[in-house]
Structure formats: structure tokens, C-alpha cells
């Protein structure tokens, strides 16, 4: 025992002397959906501590999955529950709506001298190895850390807003599946911009925005400081960048002069790279020749230049971005204003005008790298000012700069790089997403040959009833994407009076989705009305019945209840055949009768469908011009958070557009 203590003491002393890295990995539960309730216990019967939305990061207290304790068969979480820290309280969140990520923290100083330098600058250890290798290649390079004070998961959530970050990749696994971008039922994506530009997925954004993925010689120039460093941002480098366009190349001296005369505010290399990307290789482009025969609203555009395509977009007067851009360059001569030194009637004035725009809008405000021009994490108003939407632009543009420096023999200069650091970053660099099809959904589930009542591709928990003498149940499922695989179907044995079954759908990219089916064996006649309703997969709070597919008929409702209890009687007062909000239903079984009102979420006028008429009713309720009440008000609360607001209006809109369905 004494010998063991001796070795323990030696080990502890060695750690103190050698400064060995000590990592305390912590786990975070990152929320993947909006309006997720944090409960005080592992079940929906426990009180709510509050709500969290997509991207929220909660501390995971342990990795145990707690069994669902919900007492109601509806709105339960058959995935199990995770225990988390929420507002300094212990809470529980449904496992199916969070992802677990590992975040490394460290509490001891680094070992080597260069690691000590990086540590003192604020770089986490996950940056050190790549930066050390770059330092070995180019000892003169200077790396500065920029602490963003932005939570990594909140950053990804903000940048994942549909339309903010785009990709033109042909790999559908890179596209966003959020509403407005993707239709799960048809497995199709919406084009965001002409030319095949689609909304990028959070995983693709994380891969492209994670600085650690780009700390390599040919990639790191997205972090180059964009102020003017004349010792290495030379004419030779500018000429190298512009050499692919003979007309642009003629103005290399002007790019240098603009940077020099502008008070060292912006790199001529950056200006040349940005102009090359905007104009391309066409040496006869009207924007750089100054001899255009175009006209705009009767104004002649001959003699004007626009090296950066400033103001180039279609408007009511022209469908041509080039024409609009030259009209912008024309300035006061075309009744278009005089900002940025317009009119741009010489090449140098056009280069200077574009440079001032970049300085005033980006560089002077702290967005002084190509990375920051795309990913706006600077200042108070973050995520608002981005030059480009293409997630690959920082790498593409930075690689052009690297190639030019290399060709000019300028790589060994003291080039300055500013590299961002985020709070709560994952322990290792974000991986490139799997490019395969992401659809892991079903369009239908059948139990003994009959489709489940109320089935929807984005509802994952169901209760069905079968005969009390049944020993097996036949499950079948229809997948939406031909590339996905399905398990858990076939002839399944039943155990006891209640069996929980899981159908698992695996997408081509490896992601999975579980559909949970609770099978109850019953004779029906002896059941209470509540048991009959629950076993028929109908949701009830004692006053309202819900959980119906939009357009479900009265006959379908009767069949669903009589399948559980053949002796039950059902009377519906309302529409002739289709179930609509505020229809009155009377159910009798085993000598007991009970009245309910129908609620079809999103159907606020009671016609059994969801249309622009319902959208208008929700809007008028929000504006207080025409108030809803009773079942109609409940139907308007489409996200079921207890209030009717713009979030409910958006859900109705998305249902009408077909981009997502309201959970009934």
C-alpha cells in the first residue's frame, strides 16, 4: 500500500513539473427543434421549467437515458430522457430532440514554447497542432486569435437561417432540410438562387465555418489580415492574381495606388482577388472596358467602369445586372447618386470606389478577413453583414491569394492572420457531412394492413389497438426515399397486454429516424371512453379531440373507434362528412357517454381544411381585429405553446405551402 502511495505522489508531482495537458471533456445537449420543453422529471406529466429552441446548448449532467414516465399515452417521449442543467436547475429533455456533443476544456498550461505563445494568444489546444505545423513551414507568419464571445451552436443556428448560407454542390447531403428549403414528402429541395444554389445544411456550415478545418498552407489565407502590408502585398502578387484577364491586368498599378493612397486601409491583393472573382476571365466585359453601348432609362452608359459589380442586380428598369451596375457607376449623371466618388468615369475611380465600399462596410468595422466577410461575428450586430452567401467563398478566394503569393515567391514574409475562436466549440474539428440523401422518413405505416389513423411523416409516436386474443401484429411501412432502408417491420410477436415496437428508417447518409408504435390488446367493450379514444390513436384533453389527418372523414373516425370497441356508438354534429374544428362528437361505450369538440390544428374556420382563410383568421386574432375563442382559438395555437402569435401564423403558412405539416 505504501508503495502504491509513493507512485501516486510521483505521478502527481510529475504532472505539476511537466505541465502535462489535462482535459476535462464535458457533454452538451444541443437542441435540434423549436419549442422543446425542459421538464422537471422524465415525462410529459412533469411540470415545464421552460422552453428552448434550435441551437440551444444545455449541460448534460450524465449520459444515462432515463425511462419515459409519462402517464398519458399522448405526447410522450418513447426515446427516453436526458438529465440536463437548465437555469441552474436540474431538468429533463426528450432524447429524440437533442444531439450530444463533446466539448474539451483544459486547465493546465501547455508544454512547448510555441504552444505557450499560442495559449497566451487565446488559442485552444485543438488549434495548436495545425498552427505549429504552419509555424514550422513559415516561421515569419503571425497568428492572432480573435475571441468572438459567440457560442458555437448559436452561431451555427443563426447562420443556418434558410437563404443566408448557400451551396452549389450537386451533393444533396449538403443541403438544408429546414422548412422553406426542403419538402420531406416529395424529397425535393427549393432553389434559393438561379444557377443551382441551395440552402446549406447546418453540418455543411459547421464544416466550412470551423476555423480548424482550414489551418493548412493552401487554405489558411481566408484568415489573412486585409489591411495593406506593402512589404509583401506587392505589384508582382497583384499581377499574378489578375493575369487570367488581360484587361484587368493592365490596371495592376491602379490597385496598388488605391491601396497606398487610401491610408493603408485595405490590401491591394484583396482588391485584385475580389475584382477577379466578380469579373471573371472575360477581358471584354463591359464593366472594365469603359466603352459600353448600353443605356439605362435613356441614359448612355459609355465611359463608365465598375470593377466590383457594385449595385449590379435586376431592377424594374432592366433585367441585366451589368446594365444596372454601370448605371450605378454613372452616378449623378444617371440620377443614381454620388456616394463612393461617383461617377466612376475612370478605371482608378471605379477601383477606389469599390475599395471604399469594402473598407466602410467590412474592413473598418472589424470584418478584416475574407472569413469575417462571410461569417459576421464582429461587433454588436452579429450575423447581419455578409459579403457573400456561398459557404465555400472564403476558401475559394483565399486559395487564389495563396497561389498568387506562392507564384510571386512571397510566402515567407511576415503575413498576419486573424483566426476566430468560439465558445463551446466541439472537441475536434467539425467533419465534412456525408453527401448521401438525408431522407429518413416514411409516408405510411400499416398495422395488419390498415394505415395508422393520423399518420404524418414528422410524427413519431403512435398508439394502436388490436384484438385481445392477437399473438402477433403485421407491420409494414412505405419509405419516401428509395435510397433509405427500413427495419422493424414484418410479423412481430406481441408480449403481454402492451407491446412497444420501433420501426427504424436509415437514410443513405446514415442518419436514422425511429417511429414508435405502442400496441394495446383489448376486447373494447369493457374499456372506458378515455381508453377507447387513446387506443384509437386520438388525442384528448377531456374537452377536445385532436390528432386527425386534415380532411379525415366522419366515417374514418367511426371506423377507428369501432375497431377498438365494436359496440361503441359515435354521433357527430357539424360538417356533412369531413371533420372540422368545433364539430361536436358524442361517444358512448359500456354504458358511458361523453361529449367532445373536434380540433384540427390550423383549421380556424371549421371547414376541415387549412387554407388562406385560416391564415387570415389567425392574423386577425394576432392583430386583435377579430378574436377567436373556444375550439377555434385552440386550433390556432398550432405549436401548442399556450399562446397564438406569429410563430403559429408561420406554421399555417408552411402547411399551405407544403413545406411542413402541422402536428395534429
Quick one: cell of 507? Answer: 437514410
Phi then psi for residue 133, to 5 deg, are -65, -40
Which contacts (CB < 8 Å, 24+ apart) does range 323-332 have? 323/294, 323/296, 324/296, 325/287, 326/286, 326/287, 326/292, 326/294, 326/296, 326/301, 327/296, 327/297, 327/299, 327/301, 329/287, 329/301, 329/304, 329/305, 329/353, 330/296, 330/299, 330/301, 330/304
Q: Which of 130-134, 217-221, 450-454, 608-612 has the lowest mean pLDDT?
A: 450-454
One domain, residues 419 and 440: no
| Angle in degrees, CA 145, 151, 157, rounded to 5 | 125
One domain, residues 584 and 518: no
Contact 539, 514 (CB under 8 A): no
The number of angstroms, rounded, from the C-alpha of 464 to the middle of its chain's C-alpha atoms is 34
Q: Is the pTM of this model over 0.75?
A: no
Q: Which CATH number is 612's domain given?
A: 1.10.1330.10
Total domains in the fold of the chain? 4
**Which residue in 94, 98, 99 sits closest to 43, CA to CA?**
94
Q: What pLDDT score does 421 carry?
A: 96
Residue 349 above 50 pLDDT?
yes
What percent of the chain is predicted at pLDDT more than 70?
94
One domain, residues 284 and 307: yes
Does 11 fall in a domain?
no
Mean pLDDT of 620-633: 95
Residue 511 above 70 pLDDT?
yes
One domain, residues 355 and 286: yes
Count CB-CB contacts under 10 A for residue 474.
13
Q: What pLDDT score does 5 carry?
A: 38
- Domain extent, residue 478, equals 436-522
One domain, residues 277 and 299: yes
Mean pLDDT of 521-527: 74
Q: Which of 29-33, 75-79, 276-280, 646-650 has the lowest mean pLDDT?
A: 75-79
Mean pLDDT of 247-275: 93
Q: Which of 92-106, 193-207, 254-268, 392-406 has the lowest mean pLDDT?
A: 92-106
Q: How far apart are CA 182 and CA 174, in angstroms?
A: 12
Q: Which CATH number is 503's domain given?
A: 2.60.40.2340
Phi then psi for residue 433, to 5 deg, are -70, 155
One domain, residues 247 and 377: yes
One domain, residues 518 and 654: no
Q: What pLDDT score does 132 carry?
A: 96
**Model confidence pLDDT, tens digit, residues 49-90:** 988 877 788 889 988 989 888 765 555 676 789 999 998 889
Q: What is the mean pLDDT of the chain?
A: 90
Q: What pLDDT score does 12 carry?
A: 36
Greatest pairwise CA separation for the chain in angstroms? 97
Residue 497 above 70 pLDDT?
yes
Residue 68 is given by DSSP the state: P
Helix (H, G, I), strand (E, B) or coil at 476: strand
Residue 275 above 50 pLDDT?
yes
One domain, residues 348 and 455: no
One domain, residues 345 and 448: no
Q: How far apart are CA 199 and CA 187, in angstroms?
A: 15
Q: What pLDDT score does 252 carry?
A: 97
Q: Is 379 exposed, middle or buried (0-12, 13-18, 19+ CB in 10 A)?
A: exposed
One domain, residues 242 and 345: yes
Q: How far apart are CA 149 and CA 276, in angstroms?
A: 34
Residue 526 above 90 pLDDT?
no
Quick one: cell of 421? Answer: 475562436
One domain, residues 399 and 449: no
Q: How far apart are CA 647 and CA 33, in angstroms?
A: 13
Residue 641 above 90 pLDDT?
no
**Which residue in 551, 581, 585, 552 sits closest to 568, CA to CA?**
585
One domain, residues 489 and 561: no
Q: What pLDDT score does 417 carry?
A: 97
Q: What pLDDT score does 71 carry?
A: 62
Q: How far apart are CA 191 and CA 170, in angstroms?
A: 12
**Which residue in 195, 190, 187 sits closest to 163, CA to CA?**
190
Q: What pLDDT score does 348 carry?
A: 96
Residue 234 above 90 pLDDT?
yes
**Of the candidates 497, 522, 547, which is a domain's last residue?**
522
Residue 518 above 50 pLDDT?
yes
Q: Which CATH number is 84's domain given?
A: 2.30.30.40
Amino acid at each position: 500500500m505504501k508503495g502504491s502511495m509513493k507512485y501516486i505522489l510521483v505521478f502527481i508531482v510529475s504532472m505539476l513539473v511537466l505541465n502535462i495537458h489535462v482535459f476535462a471533456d464535458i457533454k452538451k445537449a444541443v437542441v435540434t427543434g423549436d419549442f422543446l420543453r425542459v421538464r422537471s422529471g422524465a415525462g410529459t406529466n412533469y411540470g415545464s421549467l421552460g422552453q428552448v429552441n434550435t441551437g440551444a446548448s444545455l449541460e448534460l449532467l450524465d449520459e444515462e437515458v432515463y425511462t419515459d414516465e409519462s402517464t398519458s399515452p399522448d405526447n410522450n417521449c418513447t426515446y427516453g430522457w436526458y438529465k440536463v442543467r437548465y437555469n441552474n436547475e436540474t431538468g429533463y429533455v426528450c432524447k429524440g430532440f437533442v444531439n450530444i456533443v463533446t466539448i474539451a476544456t483544459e486547465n493546465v498550461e501547455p508544454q512547448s514554447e510555441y504552444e505557450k505563445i499560442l495559449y497566451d494568444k487565446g488559442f485552444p489546444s485543438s488549434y495548436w497542432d495545425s498552427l505549429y505545423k504552419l509555424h514550422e513551414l513559415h516561421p515569419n507568419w503571425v497568428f492572432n486569435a480573435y475571441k468572438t464571445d459567440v457560442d458555437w451552436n448559436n452561431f451555427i443556428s443563426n447562420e443556418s437561417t434558410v437563404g443566408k448560407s448557400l451551396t452549389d454542390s450537386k451533393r444533396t447531403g449538403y443541403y438544408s432540410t429546414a422548412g422553406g428549403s426542403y419538402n420531406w414528402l416529395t424529397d425535393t429541395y427549393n432553389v434559393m438562387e438561379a444557377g443551382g444554389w441551395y440552402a446549406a445544411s447546418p453540418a455543411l456550415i459547421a464544416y466550412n465555418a470551423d476555423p480548424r478545418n482550414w489551418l493548412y498552407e493552401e487554405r489558411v489565407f481566408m484568415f489573412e489580415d486585409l489591411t495593406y502590408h506593402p512589404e509583401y502585398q506587392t505589384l508582382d502578387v497583384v499581377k499574378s492574381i489578375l493575369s487570367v484577364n488581360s484587361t484587368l491586368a493592365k490596371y495592376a498599378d491602379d490597385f496598388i495606388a488605391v491601396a497606398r493612397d487610401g491610408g493603408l486601409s485595405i490590401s491591394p491583393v484583396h482588391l485584385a482577388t475580389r475584382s477577379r472573382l466578380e469579373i471573371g476571365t472575360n477581358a471584354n466585359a463591359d464593366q472594365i472596358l469603359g466603352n459600353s453601348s448600353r443605356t439605362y432609362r435613356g441614359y448612355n452608359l459609355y465611359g463608365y467602369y465598375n470593377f466590383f459589380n457594385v449595385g449590379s442586380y435586376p431592377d424594374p428598369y432592366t433585367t441585366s445586372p451589368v446594365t444596372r451596375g454601370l448605371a450605378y457607376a454613372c452616378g449623378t449623371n444617371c440620377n443614381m447618386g454620388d456616394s463612393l466618388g461617383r461617377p466612376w468615369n475612370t478605371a482608378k475611380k471605379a477601383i477606389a470606389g469599390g475599395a471604399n465600399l469594402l473598407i466602410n462596410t467590412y474592413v473598418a468595422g472589424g470584418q478584416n478577413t475574407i472569413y469575417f466577410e462571410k461569417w459576421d461575428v464582429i461587433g454588436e450586430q452579429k450575423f447581419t453583414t455578409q459579403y457573400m452567401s456561398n459557404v465555400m467563398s472564403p476558401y475559394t478566394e483565399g486559395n487564389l491569394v495563396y497561389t498568387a503569393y506562392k507564384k510571386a515567391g512571397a510566402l515567407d514574409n511576415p503575413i498576419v492572420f486573424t483566426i476566430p475562436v468560439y465558445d463551446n466549440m466541439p472537441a475536434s474539428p467539425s467533419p465534412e457531412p456525408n453527401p448521401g440523401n438525408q431522407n429518413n422518413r416514411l409516408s405510411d405505416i400499416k398495422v395488419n394492413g390498415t394505415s395508422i389513423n393520423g399518420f404524418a411523416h414528422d410524427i413519431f409516436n403512435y398508439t394502436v389497438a388490436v384484438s385481445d386474443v392477437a399473438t402477433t401484429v403485421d407491420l409494414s411501412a412505405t419509405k419516401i426515399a428509395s435510397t433509405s432502408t427500413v427495419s422493424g417491420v414484418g410479423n412481430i410477436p406481441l408480449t403481454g397486454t402492451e407491446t412497444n415496437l420501433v420501426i427504424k428508417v436509415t437514410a443513405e447518409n446514415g442518419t436514422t429516424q425511429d417511429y414508435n408504435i405502442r400496441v394495446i390488446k383489448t376486447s373494447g367493450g369493457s374499456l372506458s371512453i378515455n381508453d377507447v379514444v387513446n387506443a384509437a390513436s386520438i388525442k384528448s384533453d377531456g374537452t377536445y379531440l385532436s390528432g386527425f389527418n386534415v380532411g379525415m372523414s366522419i366515417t374514418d373516425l367511426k371506423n377507428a373507434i369501432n375497431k377498438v370497441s365494436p359496440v361503441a356508438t359515435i354521433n357527430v354534429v357539424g360538417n356533412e362528412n369531413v371533420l372540422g374544428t368545433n364539430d361536436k362528437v358524442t361517444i358512448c361505450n359500456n354504458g358511458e357517454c361523453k361529449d367532445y369538440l373536434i380540433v384540427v390544428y390550423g383549421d380556424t374556420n371549421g371547414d376541415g381544411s387549412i387554407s388562406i382563410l385560416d391564415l387570415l383568421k389567425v392574423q386577425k386574432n394576432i392583430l386583435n381585429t377579430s378574436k377567436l375563442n373556444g375550439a377555434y382559438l385552440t386550433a390556432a395555437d398550432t405549436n401548442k405553446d399556450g399562446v397564438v402569435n406569429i410563430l403559429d401564423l408561420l406554421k399555417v403558412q408552411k402547411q399551405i405551402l407544403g413545406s411542413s405539416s402541422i402536428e395534429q
